[in-house]
């Protein structure tokens, strides 16, 4: 028998989990900081959404609508969906966690991909499950490798599509092939946090696939192109049986009233979204061209961020670039925890931020020439 515990003890596995590491926020001693580490939009939120948020301040004594009806109806009308198949969450992170709690038990496996979002691993473990990591191919999800990893214990598969931090995507034909090859008992979660930015014809976030199957869920977020990361709002589109199961365990008032009010307006402000995407498309192209001109390698991205690869040479590595850029007020994201020890992820920011990073990296690369 082990020695008797003298304080409350977390259940087995909890202390093996490494906590999520958010993007850096500060550059000590630098007056002006450009935070390009968390894929936040440089354009803020829709003014109409901000106004709705401010109005909500005068009813803070009231509980929010536990069904978030206004928001679910707004999402449903913009996307042409049945609101009964939509559930909102305190960020899509909450929904990803709830899905793990509902579908995974001790000994069950959840498949994640090599460079997938780190939150899945935490939530699979928190639910008592075992994460099984599948290799990607050239920074892209490999459907055959996922299918080969499925066992009797597999209960859930997480796809980040487009990927974060890779910025790559797999076409809808590949997602369909994956769904067709999975046992019907395995839940396929399509995390489409960056779907609004994608401009290629062969990509789909997953609406059709959810509608036509019983084991697919699509998650979306208001944290990226809508500029509402501070409010924590995400949603999922899911089959009725999934909604019904998750509804039993979610917190009764999981999204707050100001968030419901602001997001309901934000999703209808299509002009604002269009401008945000246009800014991103323009500056993504300029940043990628600029980085290549400097001689750096980038992974082609369909999102609002880009993975920059550095040479494996003393003084020129990602770690050196990170320090150099931070000293100049440009905060990018180190991604060694995602399998990229020698790369940085850069969010497309304002014109000033993008031009500033390019100028700084030109200096970084040429200082050793
Ligand atoms: C940013 C992001 C999310 C969004 O999370 P929220 O909890 O909705 O803020 C989800 N998945 C991925 C891959 C992301 O990068």
pLDDT of the residue at 28: 84
Examine residue 9 and state whether it is found in any structural domain, yes or no.
no
Q: What is the pLDDT of residue 114?
A: 95
User: Is residue 310 over pLDDT 70?
Assistant: yes
d(CA 240, CA 19): 32
- Establish whether residue 191 lines the binding site of ligand 1, counting it when its CB lies within 6 angstroms of any ligand atom: yes
Question: For the chain, what is the domain count?
Answer: 2
Please give the pLDDT value at position 24: 79
Cα 347 from Cα 304, distance rounded (Å): 6
Query: Based on the domain organization, do 264 and 275 belong to the same domain?
Result: no
Domain span holding position 157: 47-268
> Structure tokens of 39?
């894929």
Looking up residue 328, the CATH number of its domain turns out to be 3.90.1150.10
Considering the domain architecture, whether residues 294 and 234 belong to the same structural domain is answered as no
pLDDT at residue 42, as a whole number? 97
pLDDT digits (tens, 9 = 90+) for 120-165: 999 999 999 999 999 999 999 999 999 999 999 999 999 999 999 9
User: Which atom belonging to ligand 1 lies closest to the Cα atom of 92?
Assistant: 8
- Stretch 277-295: mean pLDDT: 98
What percent of the chain is modeled with pLDDT above 70? 99
Q: What is the pLDDT of residues 59-97, one digit of tens each?
A: 999 999 999 999 999 999 999 999 999 999 999 999 999
Same domain, 192 and 117: yes
CA distances from 182 to 38, 159, 185, 230, 235 (A): 32, 13, 8, 36, 24
3 vs 10: CA distance, rounded Å: 16
Average pLDDT over all residues of the chain: 96
- Residues 257, 64 contacting (CB under 8 angstroms): yes
In a 10 Å sphere around its CB, with 0-12 CB exposed, 13-18 middle and 19+ buried, how is residue 148 labelled?
exposed
Within a 10 A sphere around the Cβ of 51, how many other Cβ atoms? 13
Strands (E), 201-290: 216-221, 234-237
Put simply, whether the predicted model's pTM sits higher than 0.85 gets the answer yes
3 CA → ligand 1 middle, Å: 42
Asked if 174 and 295 sit in the same domain, the reply is no
Which residues, other chains included, contact 295 with Cβ-Cβ below 8 Å and sequence gap of 6+?
365
For residue 16, being part of any structural domain is answered with no
- The answer, yes or no, to whether any atom of ligand 1 lies below 6 A from the CB of 223, is yes
> pLDDT at position 2, please?
58
Task: Let me know if residue 332 belongs to a domain.
Answer: yes
Does residue 1 register a pLDDT over 70? no
- Going by alpha carbons, the residue nearest to atom 12 of ligand 1 is 193
**Burial of 285: CB neighbours in 10 Å, binned 0-12, 13-18, 19+:** exposed
Residues 276 and 261 in one domain: no
Q: Are residues 337 and 350 in the same domain?
A: yes
- Residue 21 has what pLDDT? 83
* Residues 99 and 234 both lie in one domain: yes
* pLDDT tens readout for residues 5-33: 899 999 888 999 999 888 778 888 898 99
The preferred substitution site among 38, 40, 90, 92 for testing ligand 1, maximizing ligand atoms within 8 Å of CB, is 92
| CATH number of domain containing 68 | 3.40.640.10
Based on the domain organization, do 256 and 350 belong to the same domain? no
Last residue of a domain, one of 216, 239, 268: 268
Please give the sequence-ordered ranges of beta strands (E in DSSP) within the chain, or none if there are none: 34-35, 86-89, 109-113, 130-134, 154-160, 187-191, 216-221, 234-237, 297-299, 305-309, 330-331, 333-334, 343-347
- Which DSSP state fits 127? T
358 and 234 belong to one structural domain: no
The answer to the question of residue 111 being in a domain is yes
What would the mean pLDDT of 229-252 be, rounded to a whole number? 98
> Do 314 and 212 belong to one domain?
no
Same-domain check for residues 338 and 299: yes
Measure 193 CA to ligand 1 centroid, in angstroms: 6
Give yes or no for residue 166 CB within 6 A of ligand 1.
Answer: no
Please indicate, yes or no, whether residues 211 and 300 belong to a single structural domain of this protein: no
Mean pLDDT of 176-181: 98
Residue 133 DSSP symbol: E
pLDDT value of position 257 = 98
Q: Please, are residues 234 and 219 in contact by the beta-carbon 8 Å criterion?
A: yes
């Amino acid at each position: 028998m082990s020695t008797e515990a003298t304080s409350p003890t977390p259940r087995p596995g909890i202390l093996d989990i490494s906590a999520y590491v958010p993007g850096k926020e500060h550059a000590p001693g630098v007056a002006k900081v450009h935070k390009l580490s968390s894929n936040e939009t440089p354009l803020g939120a829709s003014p109409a959404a901000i106004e709705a948020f401010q109005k909500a301040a005068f009813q803070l004594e009231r509980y929010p609508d536990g069904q978030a009806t206004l928001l679910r109806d707004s999402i449903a009308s913009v996307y042409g969906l049945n609101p009964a198949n939509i559930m909102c969450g305190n960020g899509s992170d909450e929904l990803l966690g709830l899905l793990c709690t509902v579908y995974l038990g001790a000994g069950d496996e959840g498949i994640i991909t090599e460079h997938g979002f780190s939150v899945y691993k935490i939530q699979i473990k928190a639910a008592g499950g075992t994460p099984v990591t599948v290799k990607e191919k050239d920074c892209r999800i490999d459907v055959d490798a996922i299918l080969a990893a499925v066992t009797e214990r597999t209960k859930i598969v997480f796809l980040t599509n487009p990927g974060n931090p890779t910025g790559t995507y797999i076409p809808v034909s590949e997602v369909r092939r994956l769904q067709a090859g999975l046992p019907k008992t395995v839940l396929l979660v399509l995390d489409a946090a960056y779907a609004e930015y994608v401009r290629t014809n062969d990509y789909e976030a997953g609406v059709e696939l959810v509608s036509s199957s019983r084991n697919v869920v699509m998650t979306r977020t208001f944290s990226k192109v809508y500029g509402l990361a501070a409010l924590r709002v995400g949603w999922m589109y899911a089959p009725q049986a999934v909604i019904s199961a998750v509804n039993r365990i979610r917190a009764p008032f999981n999204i707050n009233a100001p968030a419901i009010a602001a997001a309901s307006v934000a999703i209808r402000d299509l002009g604002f979204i269009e401008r945000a995407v246009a800014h991103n498309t323009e500056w993504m192209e300029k940043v990628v061209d600029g980085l290549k001109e400097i001689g750096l390698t980038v992974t082609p991205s369909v999102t609002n961020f880009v993975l920059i690869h550095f040479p494996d040479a003393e003084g020129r590595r990602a770690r050196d670039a990170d320090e150099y850029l931070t000293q100049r007020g440009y905060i990018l994201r180190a991604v060694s925890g995602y399998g990229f020890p020698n790369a940085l992820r850069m969010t497309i920011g304002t014109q000033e931020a993008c031009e500033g990073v390019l100028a700084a990296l030109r200096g970084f690369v040429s200082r050793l020439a």
